[in-house]
Chain A
Amino acid sequence: MSKNIKLRKGLDINLKGKAEAVLESAPMAKSYAVSPLDYECVTPKLLVKVGDKVEAGQALFFDKNNPRILFTSPVSGVVSAINRGEKRKLLNVAVEPDQEQVAQSLKVTDIAKAERSEIVEMLLQSGLWTRIVERPYGVIANPEAQPKAIFVSAFDSAPLAPDYNFILKEEKAAVEAGMAVLARLTEGKVHLSARQGSEGYMAEVKGVEYHTFSGKHPVGNVGVQIHHIDRIAKGDIVWTVNIQDVAMIGRSVLAGKVDMSKTIAVVGTKAPKCGYKRIISGASVESIVGKVEADTRVISGDVLSGVQTAADGYISANANALTLIPEGDVYELLGWAMPRFHRFSVSRAYFSWLCPKKEYNLDTNLNGGERPFVVTGLYENYLPMDIYVSYLLKACLVKDLDKMENLGLYELLPEDLAVCEFVDPSKIEMQQILRDGINLMIKES
């Protein structure tokens, strides 16, 4: 077992509305949706039309940039709607589930004996391939590529994050089977990182390089872990898979058929009940939390890097939590001059430092106006990586590709900058700036 990696930089934001260790099954939703917008740089091309009957694991659309990558239905049923936005941009494909669920069976189930190319093809066909993320850039893995290594983080350190030890308590076999699949995809190692002190059974998983980390958010981000295990240099390709998706792949392989069910955390002060729900990927928000109150921000994922989701929308494919917090569209008289005991700040210009154990109920107010970069040295305290954040962001803003590359663009994804964005008094949209920079890099290379 390797040495524990302790990170000193970062921030844990103590929020109200944590998930209690209670697991319930959500009722079958009226409809499930698959959206190309859950992934970066996907140009969808439809394979179905409204009224078509589909099985779970049957393709709904594919990516024009890479036709081998299929996006499949999580449930069996009838395609009920193809929702489009401006300029006929595909928003999602909705499927109304049948009473009886039928799933397509996998072509390859004996992972140890199959060729690598057969395993890749099986994952592509079933749609499980879309769960593999490629770095640099954070896009769906290119099936033609050979990754240097595959990284899995066994914990999430974001505020109100789900506890995977609880979610995957009964799924050790599935996790191990999933890891075995990943091991066949790379010539290099499969790295698994757990949080020190809450390793669960992760230390016992075979066939992986095991690491432990301790520290504050974003210590659970796989990008930060890669930086401390085996940094991404120019020309490297590595893949990452969320631990719950590893279990999903493993479970499907063990059962011999596509199974996209998962457990998500329902959290936040506006959630009707904070706990865990068993759902199928792409379920409607309504099926998970019922009617949402007015003035509520529904987020697929965590409060720092999740995506805003409509109350009548669907949870993102990659989300392992549904967070509901109050909207903050109110004025605050002379707020910047007030003590603001109910709000949280890392700055000792406020008083949060007096009560480090206090749980906060934060809303979505920006708490100020956007300003140019003024403060210095702050961001670096919240990113445990050897990267100069403001220099990289400025390179992204001026679209200087060489500088972006030199300053560490390949090592970062927006989620890794989420804490910096949170603490920034200039309210700069760092995650968006970085994403735009990454997408520009993809376009130019």
Chain B
Amino acid sequence: MGLRNFVDKIKPTFSEGGKLGFLHSTFEGFETFLYVPNTVTKKGAHIRDCNDIKRVMIVVVLALIPATLFGMYNVGYQAGIEGVFPAFWYGFLKSLPTIIVSYVTGLAIEFAFAQKRKHEINEGFLVTGLLIPLVMPVTIPLWIVALSTAFAVIIGKEVFGGTGMNVFNPALLARAFAFFAYTPQMSGEAVWYADGKTGATALEQLGTTGEMQWSALDAFFGFMPGSLGETSTCAILIGAALLLFTGVASWRIMLSVFVGGLAMGYVFDLAGMTEYPVYYHLLVGGFAFGAVFMATDPVTSAQTNTGKWIYGLMVGALAVLIRVVNPAYPEGMMLSILFMNALAPLIDYFVVERNIARRKKLIKNVK
């Protein structure tokens, strides 16, 4: 095959000792993207499942596509553009730069670190790079996107050792960074519309008046302002279906986040602190997006099955708690997931300790 010959021909240049040897990891990144390598098993199992991390990550990207496409359409719709395709095109042009900036910044840093560490390039950022624009308002200045992406990748991931070692979900960390460092560009009434209109989001309306101007059905399909990818619970659920069917995301976490959120919602409802239907919590803001795409990140969530239930329930419950009790943060999902990211290792610690205790009991039984 011509392409293969070409790759083989330029390979020595990029290998150790070659003229462009310092680009070794970058070359390998592109090569393994083009071709599954010819590496054979050396130790252990001689045959392997054909699943790899590239495939896992690409499934997540696919699952994000419905939310992304609807988000683009919604940008145009909120700006008052008539017709499905013109609205989509308008939103597409508005949001594409954000996506490009996020990918370019993040991948450049990832490549540089892989190069420095002489590692292979990890695929994790394929997902993170799309998640970041999806949790930002469409009007976000590009330099903020670049800065928060850089912050998330360097401080959130690489300082811990890269993919698989990070404590916090990088995409959420990017959002948190932007949210606290550049609050005016991330919240308020002006940022959600691409055409300069203003208006409060559903969450803010619910928080202040206990009502929102959209129907529950509009909220479910996503015809309301919000971050690019978060508004349509319907599109998110399509992605969720793919993640659950392929087993890429944990159903335990996903289910328990929704259960935790609902349960907490009912508590406030019974206490008389909220006057809108409890299920609104699941439809508005970033709850569904967080539950499906953020809380389920396998690296930053709890790793044991028991731990996943606890983690998920607490993510859901905390998100609603922050929404209702703390008026300064109408959106609780981001903070709740980040907080539980920090607690996840502790939850796992106790679950694993119980496993150890069972094993120790064995010794006593014998003697």
Contact = CB atoms under 8 A, between A and B. Distances in A.
A408 interface: yes
Interface stretch (B95-103, B131-139, B167-175, B242-250): B242-250
A332 interface: yes
A340 B36 CA distance: 12
**Most B CB within 10 A of own CB, among A323, A387, A422:** A422
A423 B46 contact: no
Contact of A368 (B4, B53, B164, B366): B53
Interface in B201-253: 245-248, 250, 252
A388 B55 contact: no
Interface string A285-303: 0000000000001010001
Interface residues of B, number: 62
Nearest to A304: B45
Contacts of A335: 35-36, 50
A305 interface: yes
Nearest to B36: A335
For chain A, the bracket of interface size reads: 35 or more
A235 B363 contact: yes
A431 B49 contact: no
**Most A CB within 10 A of own CB, among B3, B52, B56:** B52
Nearest to B124: A374
B250 A376 contact: yes
A343 B50 contact: yes
A364 interface: yes
Contacts, number: 220
Contact of A365 (B1, B40, B123, B252): B40
Interface in B11-65: 32-56, 58-59
Interface string A322-339: 010101111111111100
A299 B47 CA distance: 11
A421 B163 contact: no
B47 A414 contact: no
Contacts of A424: 48-49
A383 to B, nearest CB: 13
B163 A371 contact: yes
A159 to B, nearest CB: 8
A374 B44 contact: no
Contacts of A368: 36-37, 48, 51-55
Nearest to B53: A371
A119 B126 CA distance: 64
Interface string A225-242: 000000101111000000
B308 to A, nearest CB: 7
B37 A331 contact: yes
A318 to B, nearest CB: 16
B9 interface: no
Given A336-B36, A372-B165, A407-B352, A348 B46 contact: no
A421 B44 CA distance: 8
A376 B304 CA distance: 7
Interface string B299-343: 101011100100000000000000000000000000000000000
Contacts of B359: 233, 386, 406-408
A377 B250 contact: yes
B37 A369 contact: yes
A337 B51 contact: no
Nearest to B353: A406
Interface string B132-151: 00000000000000000000
A140 interface: no
Given A331-B36, A388-B355, A349 B248 contact: yes
**Most A CB within 10 A of own CB, among B33, B245, B303, B360:** B303
B245 A348 contact: yes
15 contacts: A15-B47, A159-B47, A233-B365, A331-B38, A345-B49, A349-B246, A350-B55, A365-B36, A369-B53, A371-B163, A371-B164, A373-B164, A376-B250, A421-B44, A425-B52
Interface of B: 1, 3-4, 32-56, 58-59, 120, 122-124, 161-165, 245-248, 250, 252, 298-299, 301, 303-305, 308, 352, 355-356, 358-360, 362-363, 365-366
